[in-house]
Amino acid sequence: MIRLKRMAGCILVGLVALCAGVPTVHAQGEGILTLQRINEPIYLDGPSDESAWRGVEPFLPTQYEPENGAPPTERTEFRVAYDDAYLYLSLRAYESDPDGIRSNTLYRDRLSGDDHFEILIDTYNDNETGVLFTTTPAGIRRDAALSNDASGGGIAGGGWLNVDFNTYWDVAAAVTDSGWFAELRVPFSSLRFQQRDDDTVVIGIALQRKVARKTERLVFPSVRPIADFAFLKPSLAQKVMLRGIRPHLPVYVTPYALAGGGESAALNRGGTAFQHNREWSREIGGDLKYSISNNATLDLTVNTDFAQVEADDQQINLTRFSLFFPEKRQFFQERAGIFDFRTGGLSRLFHSRRIGLTEDGRPVRILGGARLAGRFGRWDVGVLNMQTAKSETPTLNNSASLNLPSENFGVVRARRQVINPYSYTGGMLTSRVGADGSYNFAYGLDGVIRVFGDDYLTLQWAHSFDHERVELENYRALNGGRLTIEMERRRREAWEYHTVLAWAGADYDPGIGFSQRNDFTLLDNTLSYTWLPGTQSAMIWHTLGVQGFAFLRNEDGSIESAEVGPQWEYAAKNGTGAVLEARLLYEDLPFSFALSDDVVVPAGKYTFYRVGASYHETHTRLFQLRPEIQAGTFYDGWQVTAQLTPIWYVSPHLELAGSYQYSHIRFPDRDVVMASDRRLDAHLARLRIGTAVNTRISTNLFVQYNSLLDMLSANVRFRYNLREGNDLWIVYNQGMNTDRYRFDPRLLLVDNQTILVKYTHTFQL
């Protein structure tokens, strides 16, 4: 029945194309399509009107949303071709209302509710990983890498979509009275592919066009909304074949020069007052990228510096656990999915932010390192080694310094497909060795097996050895382990489930990983049902589910943390969506923990509840205001947390985005002397102002205020992108104390400020 529906849809699309007078088209199907090789030059200017394009048959899409499977309301043609060095892609996006074309930003790596052309390429044809290229009528470039078949973890904060990934490619776009048109050229050296014995290459490809004013997404091949972001799943991409591709193995050398200065506040020798210490910076260093083969790359770095990386988003922490911050540094981005070894939630065996950064995000000098990532036969392999310098880093209150020894960090990751094209097994080794004799070693074994249909089984075992724990008399090796058994259905249609059984010992502590808690047994279950109402409904889908988990102490089996409750979520055809949820929570705190300098949650057993709601407007609106609220009891008090996330695309040259979160927490029944011990008002505000002269010259201002830290910070980044790999950066950072009297002696108003100028230039050898 499903195949009959697909055939009917293809016939309908073919009839529409015939009536529109377009050429014969590629049919969608489960087989392998052969791409057209071209032998004439293509000049990138937007319209695909060169003679080389005339013999390339177009791919015609169907709607993904709002009317899944229906023909496009606007005529659309995708074309894909290749020559010895490049993969070429073109879009002809015809428009009945050219004035309705949305092009709201000139900022690199932003979409901002624009019309866009997006290409997913599963370069290794592994049904799991891929690279994403996106452009708009303004010709901006946005590239990203994805992993885990676009499943699990969402797209934020260390999820499956890595938007900080960049590579080499070119694009041109043009807008006319007929619509808008785009051409992309991607060198094979940027794609990394697996060549077969018969001199052919098979990759997966998925093409899409977004008609923003209609919230219409057009896709090839046809995909049903059976999962979140199903149109970005490599496993659903169309398989295509290229013949006679010869490896091109370039060497990229990217030196940099940096100069600047700054000042930071520190106590004077007598400890009687704070003063500013000035420092000047002059650095040179660089990276080398060498393509060992068409599917493996070696990266070398010397005196690595990440001055141009945007500041982390500050967070309000109302838990007793460490916060997670994603990796943004470019050196760690390419094929980052190879190094992915998640052990549940945000926890993972390897987290590259542990290299060259302190726990509070302050930089530690990286002397150099090497990184190898690629595919060898049926094996995905990643190797990384980095060396940091000895460091003396001031603590946040400037009253002391954190002395860190020179350290070496090592990671080896390998995995391969087994059983079927959607399953793999592998392992990982990590090491962290300090010049002072400290060490931490860890290893992990994992496997993801597609049992049948969309049902996947995940098995993981991780084990760490830390010098501080190994030397204890009562040390038991097994206590350094962590086991995870996970079964899930990766499908948003009808019944969906996700169940996890996990165990972690008291000594589990991966030295270059991230783990929020240990010494527990976890039971976690989610069950939901999703309706796809069809063409007559205003909704694309809506889901009703219930989720619950319990962390049990290994020592006595008692419950440490538990949560259970229902959730309803929907996505509408007009681009809006909402979530409603209710939760019953239980916490057994063995120790008290601080929410702020004044407010402490005492040890004890607590049962409380929380209800929440969030709503998001269609991302195609020029002004959006996305509200979210949570309310309920909170340990021995009550809490209301509200958040607004406004976005305003003023013009293609100016965009404003921000967020404001306010947590109102009260403990009225406490018997305390100070009223401040009964209340907490936490404010977290962020403001981003992006300006762009064109697609190459831009400025980004990022201001944050965190009331719990009593800190106002600003990060300003000016970028002149001469071409990919050649950049001039001017970066200014400042931190200000909003409560100067919280320490004695009094703090300075300006805590720190720096200005740096950095230039990078890439040479291809």
Comparing C-alpha atoms, which of 366, 408, 368, 361 is closest to residue 391? 366
Model pLDDT, residue 293: 82
For residue 486, the one-letter residue type is E
Q: Are strands 179-187 and 86-94 parallel, antiparallel or unpaired?
A: antiparallel
C-alpha 547/C-alpha 563 separation (Å) is 8
| Contact yes or no for 53/99 (Cβ under 8 A) | no
Instruction: Summarize pLDDT for 697-726 with one digit per residue, the tens.
Output: 999 999 999 999 999 999 999 999 998 889
Model pLDDT, residue 504: 95
Structural domain count, the chain:
1
Specify the 3-state DSSP secondary structure of 547: strand
Instruction: Summarize pLDDT for 97-139 with one digit per residue, the tens.
Output: 999 999 888 888 887 789 999 999 998 888 888 999 999 999 9
Residue with the two structure tokens 């506040």: 265
Q: Are strands 238-243 and 32-34 parallel, antiparallel or unpaired?
A: parallel
Q: What is the 3-state secondary structure (H, E, C) of 281-344?
A: EEEEEEEEEEEEECCEEEEEEEEECCCCCCCCCCCCCCCCCCCCCCCCCHHHCCCHHHHCCEEE
| Contact yes or no for 481/530 (Cβ under 8 A) | no
C-alpha 702/C-alpha 686 separation (Å) is 7
Q: Which residues neighbour 204 within 8 Å (Cβ) at sequence distance 6 or greater?
A: 120, 121, 122, 125, 127, 130, 234, 237, 238, 239, 240
Q: What is the DSSP string of 134-194?
A: EE-TT---EEEEE-GGG-SS-SSSSSSEETT-----EEEEEEETTEEEEEEEEEHHHH---
For residue 610, the one-letter residue type is R
Specify the 3-state DSSP secondary structure of 100: helix
CA 199 to chain centre: 35
C-alpha 490/C-alpha 148 separation (Å) is 11
Beta bridge pairs of residue 243:
200
Q: What is the DSSP string of 204-243?
A: EEEEEEEEGGGTEEEEES-----STTGGG-GGGSEEEEEE
C-alpha 61/C-alpha 71 separation (Å) is 7
| Contact yes or no for 613/638 (Cβ under 8 A) | no
Phi, psi at 91, each rounded to 5°: -125, 130
For residue 63, the one-letter residue type is Q
Longest dimension (CA), the chain: 86
**Within-domain flag for 571:** no
Q: Are strands 391-394 and 481-489 parallel, antiparallel or unpaired?
A: unpaired
Comparing C-alpha atoms, which of 679, 715, 483 is closest to residue 600? 679
C-alpha 476/C-alpha 478 separation (Å) is 6
Across the chain, mean pLDDT equals 88
Model pLDDT, residue 400: 52
Percent of the chain's residues with pLDDT above 90: 59
Model pLDDT, residue 328: 85
Say yes or no to pLDDT of 24 above 70: no
Q: Which residues neighbour 556 within 8 Å (Cβ) at sequence distance 6 or greater?
A: none
Mean per-residue pLDDT, 348-364: 88
Model pLDDT, residue 621: 84
Higher pLDDT, 591 or 199: 591
Say yes or no to pLDDT of 361 above 80: no
Model pLDDT, residue 394: 58
CA 334 to chain centre: 13
CATH of the domain at 117: 2.60.40.1190
Specify the 3-state DSSP secondary structure of 53: helix
C-alpha 504/C-alpha 525 separation (Å) is 18
Query: Residue 732: pLDDT band by 50, 70, 90 thresholds?
Result: very high
Instruction: Summarize pLDDT for 33-89 with one digit per residue, the tens.
Output: 999 999 888 999 999 989 999 889 999 999 998 888 999 999 999 999 999 889 999
C-alpha 266/C-alpha 271 separation (Å) is 9
Q: Which helix (H) or strand (E) holds 585?
A: strand 577-589
**Within-domain flag for 300:** no
**Within-domain flag for 595:** no
% helix, strand, coil for the chain, step of 5:
10, 55, 40
Q: What is the DSSP string of 659-710?
A: EEEEEEEE-TT---SSGGGGEEEEEEEEEEEEEESSSSEEEEEEEEEETTTT
Q: Are strands 76-82 and 36-37 parallel, antiparallel or unpaired?
A: parallel
Pick the range with the lowest mean pLDDT from 354-363, 461-470, 520-529.
354-363
| Contact yes or no for 445/418 (Cβ under 8 A) | no
C-alpha 84/C-alpha 64 separation (Å) is 33
Where in the sequence is the domain holding 73, given as residue range(s)?
2-243
Mean per-residue pLDDT, 462-486: 86
Instruction: Find the distance separating the first CA and the last CA of the chain, reported in whole Å.
Output: 55
Mean per-residue pLDDT, 198-212: 91
Instruction: Summarize pLDDT for 169-191 with one digit per residue, the tens.
Output: 999 999 999 999 999 999 988 88
Phi, psi at 468, each rounded to 5°: -70, -35
Mean per-residue pLDDT, 424-452: 94
C-alpha 594/C-alpha 610 separation (Å) is 21
**Within-domain flag for 296:** no
Mean per-residue pLDDT, 255-271: 91
Phi, psi at 537, each rounded to 5°: -95, 155
DSSP state of 245: P
Q: Which residues neighbour 309 within 8 Å (Cβ) at sequence distance 6 or greater?
A: 328, 329, 330
Q: Which residues neighbour 761 within 8 Å (Cβ) at sequence distance 6 or greater?
A: 254, 255, 256, 725, 726
DSSP state of 195: B
Pick the range with the lowest mean pLDDT from 406-410, 667-671, 759-763.
667-671
Say yes or no to pLDDT of 572 above 80: yes
| Contact yes or no for 266/747 (Cβ under 8 A) | no
Residue with the two structure tokens 């452009």: 135
Say yes or no to pLDDT of 546 above 90: yes
**Tokens of residue 108, six digits:** 């690199």
Mean per-residue pLDDT, 575-595: 94
C-alpha 186/C-alpha 478 separation (Å) is 49
**Within-domain flag for 284:** no
Mean per-residue pLDDT, 280-290: 92
Say yes or no to pLDDT of 23 above 70: no
In this structure, the number of other CB atoms found within 10 A of the CB of residue 24 comes to 10
Specify the 3-state DSSP secondary structure of 149: helix
Model pLDDT, residue 344: 83
Query: Residue 294: pLDDT band by 50, 70, 90 thresholds?
Result: confident
Whole-angstrom CA distances from 348 to 428, 504, 528, 590 are: 11, 13, 26, 25
**Within-domain flag for 73:** yes
C-alpha 212/C-alpha 113 separation (Å) is 7
**Within-domain flag for 207:** yes
Strands (E) in 505-576, as ranges, are: 520-531, 539-553, 559-572
Model pLDDT, residue 25: 47
Tally the residues of the chain. 765
C-alpha 611/C-alpha 632 separation (Å) is 6
| CB burial of residue 382 (10 Å; 0-12, 13-18, 19+) | buried
**Within-domain flag for 407:** no
Say yes or no to pLDDT of 195 above 90: no
Q: Which residues neighbour 7 within 8 Å (Cβ) at sequence distance 6 or greater?
A: none
**Tokens of residue 159, six digits:** 């999820």
Q: Which helix (H) or strand (E) holds 463?
A: strand 455-466
Pick the range with the lowest mean pLDDT from 216-230, 375-389, 537-551, 662-676.
662-676
**Tokens of residue 153, six digits:** 């973890």
In what order do the strands lie in the sheet containing 179-187?
36-37, 76-82, 86-94, 179-187, 170-176
Model pLDDT, residue 108: 83
Q: Which residues neighbour 460 within 8 Å (Cβ) at sequence distance 6 or greater?
A: 341, 343, 444, 445, 446, 447, 482, 483, 484, 485, 486
Residue with the two structure tokens 């497909």: 417
Model pLDDT, residue 9: 38
For residue 466, the one-letter residue type is D
Comparing C-alpha atoms, which of 80, 134, 74, 120 is closest to residue 223? 120
